[in-house]
Amino acid sequence: MSFQLNSPLDMHLHFREGAMLDLVAPLSAHSFSGGVVMPNLVPPVDDVHRLDAYERQVRAATSPLGFEPYMTLFMRPYTSEELSELRDRIIGVKLYPAGITTHSDQGVKNMDDVADTLRMMEEMEIPLLVHGETQGFVLDREVEFLSTYEQLASRYSKLKIVMEHITTLDALRLLDRYDNLYATVTLQHLMITLDDIAGGLMNPHLFCKPIAKRPEDRDALLSAALAPHPKLMFGSDSAPHPRDKKECCGCAAGVFTAPVALQILVELFAKHNALDALQAFTSDNARRIYGVNPPKKVVEFDNCGDVIPERYGDVIPIFAGQSTSYAITRVDTEL
């Protein structure tokens, strides 16, 4: 059986820099029409010069494949002049609580420090993207942050706020309480729980932040994606790390899913008789929420079966070596 997606989008991507960027960015650009590129580099993408340089790198690696990178800025206190200069070149500003995940040490320590910036973003209609976790007990970090989302959504009622990579039923319920809240969800959080990571031998290639939670959380997120929930978008949070940074003490957080995400999603939605919902989940919702018009790309899948590669360079993908029932058989791009 053949199946097509039109201009699929990945609304949360990590490309890194240098050789890693050159390796992983084309893997996303092959099958996705565009993606939201995260700014947590060293140093972070937080001024016009850093944005210029990084966007050039990303476009050099992806533009031959018909891919539009939607760039983001790393949250810090900005002036009105800075935001005015950059507003038409970014899709949003990404807020990381300080120290909460990879390369977030320069993140926000106190929301009051960026209150003026948030007010200006609201006025300029620049979306706020948030990694919503506290420094509390690992399974409670997202739930503990929900009150901060409520405060932000109430205080800045015209500010579009995207709760990135949500992992809990509680976060999903919050979506329906505030008109200006939206969310992305990853492939892994639709499929796994904490038990898959640490219930037997540790599987470092499934370890990410936020960590996968309980079965009831996974099931609620999957049901919402299959519906599809109109405020929920696919964002892989694909986060490549070299094998020696994953299979070690102090395992780096991140699951590399980009090159196989769509194939696995098609298999997952087909299993639940919900293929008709996948276009909205992987493209239409994001286009409506963000108001973007990505390059035209048609991706065709067939249930001819395939095997996920053991590695891409020195990066191990999710479910490496396992079989999938669907494969990408054709990609048509209008350049």
Q: Measure the CA angle with vertex 76, ends 137 and 51; round to 5°.
A: 115
Q: Measure the CA angle with vertex 66, ends 62 and 69; round to 5°.
A: 55
Closest to 1 (Cα-Cα) out of 332, 256, 306, 304: 304
> HEC states along 281-331?
HHHHHHHHHHCCCCCCEEEEEECCCEECCCCECCECCCCCCCEECCEEEEE
The single residue of 10, 237, 284, 306 carrying the catalytic annotation is: 237
Closest to 133 (Cα-Cα) out of 291, 9, 253: 253
Element (H, E) at 124: helix 115-124
Q: Dihedral sign for Cα 327, 221, 294, 67, please.
A: negative
Q: Tell me, yes or no, if 284 is annotated catalytic.
A: no
> Could you give the count of Cα atoms lying within 13 Å of 231 in the half-sphere of its Cβ?
19
Is-cis flag, bond preceding 39, omega within 30?
no
Please report, for residues 104, 153, 193, 254, the alpha-carbon distance to residue 143 in angstroms, rounded to integers and kept in the order given.
20, 16, 16, 20
On whether the CB atoms of residues 102 and 239 are closer than 8 A, the answer is: yes
Q: Which positions are annotated as active-site residues?
A: 237
